[in-house]
């Protein structure tokens, strides 16, 4: 009656195999129902005591409460599901810059398989040399000092193309105050960079025109004027 209904058949099947002599013991994670109605996760280890004739006498069961561990695993699974679904590039690395985790978006942009083991892969290899230098000399040290660092750098795609990103590095410290690992979250800002470049190009065109150009708001105030406009009316930049 203590065993959760969804785990009962599995328990009974293993107990039957133990009685039949097919197995010498078994261990399984399962759920028990507390008197209050809450669920306890336990690690159950079961063996069988027999008499001198080999006949079963008693089951010997040892249980260990693993509820907190299972809750932590479930919380981690929920967090991982979110990280795997986001289009941002997410990673965790150790203090030497060796990869511990890359989410799906990061793996896809880097050309790494979803099941490929990336532990120990230097995170710097996923960035062009100039960006890797910024991370090593500026990003990680600033995160250690201040907790976080943010900046604009680049990733290298699987075809060798540089992808501009906005990245945040977070330093995670142990109870002793030492940095245990870093997590990074980056976002592709290619379209924003293109828009900024287009604005710069438009501004250069306007500044090079011989005609005076100005922008005026609804209150009649000039918010922009080009160099020709300044020369016409005798104003400096």
Average pLDDT over residues 69-91: 91
Q: What's the whole-number average pLDDT of the chain?
A: 91
In this prediction, residue 117 carries a pLDDT of 85
Placement of tokens 């561990």 in the chain: 69
CA-based end-to-end distance of the chain: 85
Instruction: Give φ, ψ of 236 to 5 degrees.
Output: -85, 170
Average pLDDT over residues 11-26: 93
Question: Is residue 190 over pLDDT 90?
Answer: no
Question: CB 218: neighbour CB atoms within 10 A?
Answer: 5
Q: Summarize pLDDT for 127-142 with one digit per residue, the tens.
A: 999 999 999 999 999 9
> Where is pLDDT greater, at 197 or 132?
132
Cα 212 to Cα 70, 84, 181, 207: the distances in Å are 70, 53, 56, 9
pTM of the model: 0.64
- Which of these, 103, 81, 108, 84, lies nearest to 92 by C-alpha position? 103
- Which of these, 178, 181, 179, 187, lies nearest to 155 by C-alpha position? 187
Low-confidence winner among 125-134, 146-155, 195-204 (lowest mean pLDDT): 195-204
Both tokens of residue 19? 């009685």
In this prediction, residue 91 carries a pLDDT of 93
Answer for the pair 46, 27: CB distance below 8 angstroms, yes or no.
yes
Question: Is residue 177 over pLDDT 90?
Answer: no
Question: Is residue 193 over pLDDT 90?
Answer: no
CA of residue 158 relative to chain centroid, distance? 20
Q: Summarize pLDDT for 199-227 with one digit per residue, the tens.
A: 888 888 888 888 999 899 999 999 988 99
Q: How many residues does the chain have?
A: 237
What percentage of the chain reaches a pLDDT higher than 90?
67
Average pLDDT over residues 96-102: 92
Question: Is residue 146 over pLDDT 90?
Answer: yes
């Amino acid at each position: 009656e203590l065993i959760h209904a969804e785990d009962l058949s599995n328990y009974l099947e293993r107990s039957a195999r133990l009685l039949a002599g097919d197995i010498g013991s078994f261990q399984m994670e399962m759920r028990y129902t507390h008197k209050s109605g809450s669920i306890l996760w336990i690690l159950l280890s079961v063996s069988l005591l027999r008499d001198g004739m080999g006949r079963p006498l008693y089951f010997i069961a040892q249980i260990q409460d693993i509820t907190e561990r299972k809750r932590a695993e479930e919380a981690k699974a929920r967090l991982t599901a979110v990280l795997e679904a986001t289009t941002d590039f997410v990673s965790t690395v150790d203090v030497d810059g060796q990869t511990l985790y890359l989410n799906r978006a990061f793996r896809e942009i880097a050309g790494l398989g979803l099941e490929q083991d990336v532990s120990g892969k230097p995170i710097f290899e996923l960035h062009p040399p100039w960006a890797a230098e910024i991370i090593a000399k500026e990003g990680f040290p600033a995160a250690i000092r201040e907790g976080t660092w943010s900046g604009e750098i680049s990733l290298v795609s699987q075809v060798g193309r540089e992808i501009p990103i906005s990245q945040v590095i977070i330093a995670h410290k142990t109870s002793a105050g030492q940095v245990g690992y870093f997590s990074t979250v980056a976002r592709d800002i290619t379209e924003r960079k293109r828009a900024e470049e287009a604005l710069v190009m438009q501004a250069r065109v306007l500044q090079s025109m011989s005609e005076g150009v100005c922008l005026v708001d609804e209150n009649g105030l000039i918010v922009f004027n080009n160099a020709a406009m300044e020369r016409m009316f005798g104003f400096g930049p």
